[in-house]
Amino acid sequence: MRGVVHKPDIVSTTGVGVVRTAPDAAVLRLSVEVREPGLAQAYAGASAAARRVVDSIVEHGVARPDLSTGGLSVRSETVWRETSGQQVVAYVASSELTVTVRELGRAPELLDAVVRSAGDSLRLHGLSFEVGDRSGLQAAAQEAAFDDARAAAERLARMAGRTLGPVLRIDAAAFSPPGTPVPLARAALASSVEPMPIEAGETTVSASVSVVWRLSPAPRREHEGNGHSA
């Protein structure tokens, strides 16, 4: 019949691939915070504490390009008094620092040194683990995801008495970043006599791939195409 468009039979599946590996770097996020009666005192105290932290980190083998300073701020603390209204009682200055530790074995010693250099002005916000070169892991995860999608498509096609034809479309989702943040307790670190042990464990890189295949033509029944009847 003219004007009739026959769409090919297709099957669409989504596969997931996961690759596990040991991280080779740690990222430490910290800050120093100093509270003083005067603004200049708070700023100077925070600057001195930050300088001590940076010097301690560099002394323990971290390259300066692996240090990143940000989030410098000074704020006032106020109280309300019936006789005089709102009054400034103190100033709080803080500075944030992100440190990438590329030798995981030195991370406990480095953390201990940071705590001792800054004392009560130190605030530890978290520790996460990373993989320096993820390109090979991402490729392996993507290949595993495609194999997973193909296995599912072959199973569905077999259930329908068909086989897979050529691939018509592939959609690859964004990679999920490896590394899981590990919260740190400042009091526990500061009170430890020995450096706190750090276990990097295992991190994962995962990928998701959606694939559309054309299905092979359905097998014709014997009576199809026979123009006469008995």
Q: Is 132 exposed, middle or buried (0-12, 13-18, 19+ CB in 10 A)?
A: exposed
Task: Answer for the pair 157, 123: CB distance below 8 angstroms, yes or no.
Answer: no
Whole-number Cα distances in Å, 107 to 60, 62, 114, 199: 9, 10, 10, 10
Task: Answer for the pair 194, 49: CB distance below 8 angstroms, yes or no.
Answer: no
The angle subtended at Cα 197 by Cα 136 and Cα 99, nearest 5°, is: 55
DSSP string of 10-26, one letter each residue: EEEEEEEEEEEE---EE
Q: Which CATH number fits domain 8-23+133-180+199-217: 3.30.360.10, 3.90.580.10, 3.30.110.170, 3.30.70.1400?
A: 3.30.110.170
Task: Judge if 8-23+133-180+199-217 and 25-130 fold alike in CATH terms.
Answer: no
Distance between CA atoms of 192 and 69, rounded to whole angstroms?
27
Q: Which SS3 state, helix, strand or coil, does residue 197 take?
A: coil
Contacts of 60 (CB under 8 A, 6+ apart): 106, 109, 110, 113
pTM of the model: 0.61
Q: Which SS3 state, helix, strand or coil, does residue 46 take?
A: helix
Each residue's pLDDT, cut to its tens digit, for the chain (230 residues) gives 454 444 578 999 999 999 888 888 888 999 999 999 999 999 999 999 999 999 999 998 899 999 998 878 999 999 888 888 888 889 999 999 999 998 888 888 888 899 999 888 999 898 888 887 778 888 999 999 999 999 999 999 999 899 999 999 999 986 665 544 333 333 334 434 455 566 667 778 889 999 999 998 876 665 555 555 44
Q: Which SS3 state, helix, strand or coil, does residue 89 take?
A: strand
Extents of the domains making up the chain: 8-23+133-180+199-217, 25-130
CATH class of 25-130: alpha beta
Quote the tokens at residue 194.
């020995």
